[in-house]
Structure 1
Amino acid sequence: MAEQAAKKKMNLIQLTFIVAVNMMGSGIIMLPANMAQVGAISLLSWIITAVGSMAIAYGFAQAGLFNQRGGGLAAYAEDAYGKSGYFVTFFLYFVSLLIANVAIAISAVGYLSAFIPWVSSSPIATFVGVVALLWLTTIANFGGPSITGKIGSFTVWGVIIPVGALSIIGWFWFNKETFAAAWNPHGLGLVEGMVSTISLTLWAFLGMESAAQNSDAVENPKRDVPLACMFGTLGAAVIYILSTTVIQGIVPNMDLAQSTGPFGLVFAQMFNPFIGKLVMALAVIACIGSLLGWQFTMGTTAKTASDDAMFPGVFSKLNGMGAPVQGMIILCGIQTLFAFSTISPTLAEQFSALVNLSVVTNVLPYILALSALAVMMQKAEVPERKYRLNLFISTIGMLYSGYAVYSAGMEAVFGGMISMVAAFFIWAFISPRFVSFAQAGGETE
């Protein structure tokens, strides 16, 4: 029986693949167009992001080994900051997912415009298209989890196949002159160009904590979880760098910057408009599948928080199919407000604004979780050499995360601060549920 159970668990290669797939999803789908607005010099951001992301991934992998309680990043933060740290980390991470879903919907609308041009004809039309997709994927989840998971595991290939293929075969169409003309159209300095799109490139790596979240389903977690985090992140980094570099040498920079479907555009130029439309259709399917899965994940996450008395009881209510319908409706309403508040003249600008805000609200939980690693290691009494190595790498991850917050811009940082204020405001009212009379100093002699 023990041998059969071991065989059912994931090995290193399988876990690495899951990490890479979870990161790729739809995160890369609009990036070439946004990076082209700066120029090919923005590709240097990948160097910083790849190193920083690998440091973060390693820190999460180690934290996942020392703390295997449910809750992921929030559970890590709890080790150093108590229940308040758990809630603030969870709340900010949850807000980042709400915002990220709107960005995914915008990516889908961008590619959908190849078939329905009206949806990108004006900011209002884009808003209508985004909201329609948000509500469509929310309602589609009312049938419960049985179908949602199967759809997501299939549709993600709509992104992976064209992006992976471009990374390999695109070099046959690569033109040095096209790339040189796209390098630095705005005359930016080297450092300015290198840090110009850090928040955008980090967006593509969100989800790197997947290996630690699946540590209980791995054959040899102490060895495989850290390696899978590193290899998965490195593998995704290679594909990201190759695909966004080669596309700059095929499509003229101005055309790429104005595109609402960059990968469809490059395949149309490499082959023919039909292939371009096919890639567009795959991207739409992938984005809708990703959005479907994340909508359900947020609904179930909110239910878990409600069960733990951190969210209102309405989020715990399930329908006959096991779906938290009322909670999903509330969350989709909040996403609609996010979509309305970020309406921009162009689809790319709206996408960029949402990505920056999502990165800020996502990276703050990263910092909280990584900063708790020292406490975890002290409790576990790890050897001094291992302690110093882990602390050094996690510090790199925290420094990079801090700079990512800075580079996201004032508006995104302001939004992140408002989210943080909201978290502490809510905690002020629910904290008595988690503090006993004795802990509050109410014991009497």
Structure 2
Amino acid sequence: MAESSKKMSLVGLTTLVAVNMMGSGIIMLPSSMAQLGAVSLLSWIITAAGSMAIAYCFAQCGIYCPRSGGMSAYTEEAHGKSAFFLCSFLYFLSLAIGNVAIGISAVGYLTPFFPWLGSGAIPLFVGTVGLIWLTTAANFGGPSITGKIGAITVWGVIIPVAGLSVIGWFWFDPAVLREAWNPHNLKIGDAIAQSIPLTLWAFLGMESAAQNSDAVDNPKRNVPLACLFGTLGAAVVYVLSTTVIQGIVPNAELANSTAPFAYVYAQMFNPFIGNIIMALAVMACIGSLLGWQFTLAQTAKVTADQGMFPKLFSKVSAMNAPIIGMIVCGILQTLMALSTISPNASAQFSKLVNLAAVTNLIPYVTALSGLLVIMYKANVSPAIFRRNVAVLMVAMAYSFYALYASGKDAVFGAMIVLAVGYLLYGFIAKNFVDQPPASERA
């Protein structure tokens, strides 16, 4: 009983899952979705259902496959050692792309304080790269400092976004929402498909929801429930906040805003309140970027420890920070920011989000398919197997649809990256051969 009291409860774990997912994913979404119109809100229904299914399946993987390595380990269970590398490789790139998008979000909210940042492509690039290197250097202090900062800064986005979900309805005007519904006269199916990558972006990170079962009370019950409830809680906040903002700010103004939540609070109250929200959003973005920079370096380190990434990613400082790996990651993200340079923060954000979604979805598919082998090895009961397979099919159907919805350009780019990954693994595959070639054994 004493040991159980030290572990995390269902309520505590559910809160943690929701907070971890929200991060900075919602910050730029209203502006990006307004490019299509309020009809894009329908994609939340599909994404919420798909994300809950994915989160549940990852929770089941974590329960029945306690080995380290996360998605890469689950992938290896079904697809072998090369798949471990390819999953890590794609997830690593997805995090790097996502970090650039978060940096762009932060610059968008900084622009009213420093108007130069919004004056063209070069200032936006300089601001984004500056934040990338600032958060990279801040991580040199090690994981304990990163964790403490992140636990505080995440509330900079949760408070205004969750707050808008509640109080925003007092300013909500149905006529504004009707006018914003479908300004480009898109087919409903096309509008949903085009906005799926944007809504999926807000849920990326759910793969980390399956916590270590040793830290949770009654993990076989609480981990899946926390994944579902946490994802559902985040989904409710996302849907309410993006719906209410579409009914307060005219669509054209929202689509052109670089700081949508600050803009709506300024409309509801006054510019001073808007500036406070803007400052909170910047704090949240920087804190989120700080945490994801460390996650990026740690992903590279774990893969390097397996002998699949260069050894330089494995080297850590006295503070347990992989500094050399972080510097390499910073250079990679700088190049990504340069390759997608654009004078429009929302346009560049959307382009990066589509690519990040695809490079994340492929590891989702490979890792989720590992659940079938994982359950077989764990000798689960027929009832559990049937239930999990049913949820798995929903998760896979959503993943396939999201891949399709991400567009030809993003999928094409990800396929090239995947092909390069196979070449890279070819160079290191000999390190994982357990026996000599057949010609030598004859």
**TM-score, with structure 1 as normaliser:** 0.97
1:121-152 Cα shifts (integer Å, max 9, x gaps): 10111001000110111111122223111000
Q: 1:196 to 1:221 in 2, by over 3 A?
A: same
Q: Which whole-Å CA distance do the structure 1 matches of 2:45 and 2:320 have between them?
A: 44
Match of 1:42 in 2: 40
Partner of residue 214 from structure 1, selected from 194, 212, 215 = 212
- Unaligned segments of structure 1, at least 5 residues: none
Are 1:91 and 2:74 counterparts? no
Are 1:356 and 2:354 counterparts? yes
Q: Which whole-Å CA distance do the structure 2 matches of 1:154 and 1:94 have between them?
A: 25
The aligned amino acid for 2:143 is P
Structure 1 range deviating more: 143-152 or 324-333: 143-152
Query: In the TM superposition, what are the counterparts of 1:182-201 in structure 2 within 5 Å?
Result: 182-201=180-199
Q: Which whole-Å CA distance do the structure 1 matches of 2:211 and 2:80 have between them?
A: 20
1:275, distance to aligned residue in structure 2 (A): 0.4
Match of 1:258 in 2: 256
1:90, distance to aligned residue in structure 2 (A): 1.2
Q: 1:441 to 1:213 in 2, by over 3 A?
A: farther
Query: In the TM superposition, what are the counterparts of 1:44-443 in structure 2 within 5 Å?
Result: 44-437=42-435, 441=438
1:298, distance to aligned residue in structure 2 (A): 1.7
* Corresponding residue pairs, total: 442
**Secondary structure of the equivalent of 1:70?**
coil
**Secondary structure of the equivalent of 1:212?**
coil
Q: Which whole-Å CA distance do the structure 1 matches of 2:48 and 2:73 have between them?
A: 25
1:441, distance to aligned residue in structure 2 (A): 4.4
Q: Verify the 8 A CA contact 1:12 1:228 in the aligned structure 2.
A: yes
1:286, distance to aligned residue in structure 2 (A): 0.5
Q: Which whole-Å CA distance do the structure 1 matches of 2:415 and 2:194 have between them?
A: 22
Q: Which whole-Å CA distance do the structure 2 matches of 1:431 and 1:163 have between them?
A: 47
Q: Which whole-Å CA distance do the structure 2 matches of 1:122 and 1:308 have between them?
A: 43
Structure 1 stretches (4+) deviating beyond 6 angstroms? none
**Secondary structure of the equivalent of 2:342?**
coil
**Secondary structure of the equivalent of 1:196?**
helix
Q: Verify the 8 A CA contact 1:72 1:213 in the aligned structure 2.
A: no
1:443, distance to aligned residue in structure 2 (A): 7.5
The aligned amino acid for 1:400 is Y
Match of 2:4 in 1: 6
The aligned amino acid for 1:19 is V
1:170-204 Cα shifts (integer Å, max 9, x gaps): 00000011111101101112222222200000010
The aligned amino acid for 2:201 is W
Structure 1 range deviating more: 349-358 or 210-219: 210-219
RMSD: 1.3
1:237-275 Cα shifts (integer Å, max 9, x gaps): 100000000000000100000000000000000000000
Q: 1:58 to 1:320 in 2, by over 3 A?
A: closer
Structure 1 range deviating more: 138-147 or 79-88: 138-147
Q: Which whole-Å CA distance do the structure 1 matches of 2:290 and 2:383 have between them?
A: 44
Q: Verify the 8 A CA contact 2:305 2:311 in the aligned structure 1.
A: yes
**TM-score, with structure 2 as normaliser:** 0.97
